Amino acid sequence: MKSVIALLQFCTSLPLGRPVDFEHLARRSYLYPLAGYVVGGIAAGIACWIASPVVGAAVALATVLVLSGCNHFDGLLDFGDGLMAHGSREKRIAAMTDRTTGAGAVAAGIIVTLLAFAGLQSTAHLPAAILTAEVCAKVAMSWLTTLGVPFREGIHSYLHGFAKPWFLAPATLLALPLFLLPVPRVSIALALTATAVIVALMLLLSRRLFGGVNGDVVGAANEIVRAGVILLLALL
């Protein structure tokens, strides 16, 4: 339970009492999808009471951002700055780790949020879509934590140091309850496939541009996978 509490304290803004030692999460980072069920489940529960797809989509997205404390969204903004920076690898890393927010950050935040919002209001079952997308986003974080070789010291390097290759299996298994949702099973299977594709692309892009992965890349993957899965479900 300490690992679950540490996970929720890291991934959410829920009031969970005294902070638990972060090492409990580091030793079991395959539990990330559980945070997806909590955050996505709350957002889905709220969306169930909203008849308007447009309002429901806006409220659902706002809920997941607020519940996550915009922690992963901040990673997306930093990743956007690094992605759009020109010059050497060192300049890209400097842009990504700089505390200021540049045009790349604004563009990344707007694009990903607009795509998620447009897709969510077009899905056949909005609550199931936001829950599926949030769990897949956390699966991506677990996979990247395991596979992403860090290029600098930080939270990601600490988590990666405890991660084992077999963490990929339980992280994936924790997504299997999604097949019980009122969504075609093939859609869930494609959502998990899309998650794997996005993670692979993030790994390749990060290695090429930054020389590895850091916490910003992992946070950005959370936001990108969520939007990507929502778009996929809307198009199926």
* Residue 157: predicted pLDDT: 94
Handedness of CA 150, 156, 157, 159 (dihedral sign): negative
* Residue 19: predicted pLDDT: 87
Question: How large is the average pLDDT for residues 83-106?
Answer: 86
Question: Model-level pTM greater than 0.75?
Answer: yes
Given a cut of 90, whether residue 200 has pLDDT beyond it is: yes
Question: How large is the average pLDDT for residues 108-112?
Answer: 95
Domain of residue 183 covers 2-235
Given a cut of 90, whether residue 47 has pLDDT beyond it is: yes
Domain count, the chain: 1
**Cβ atoms < 10 Å from Cβ of 20:** 19
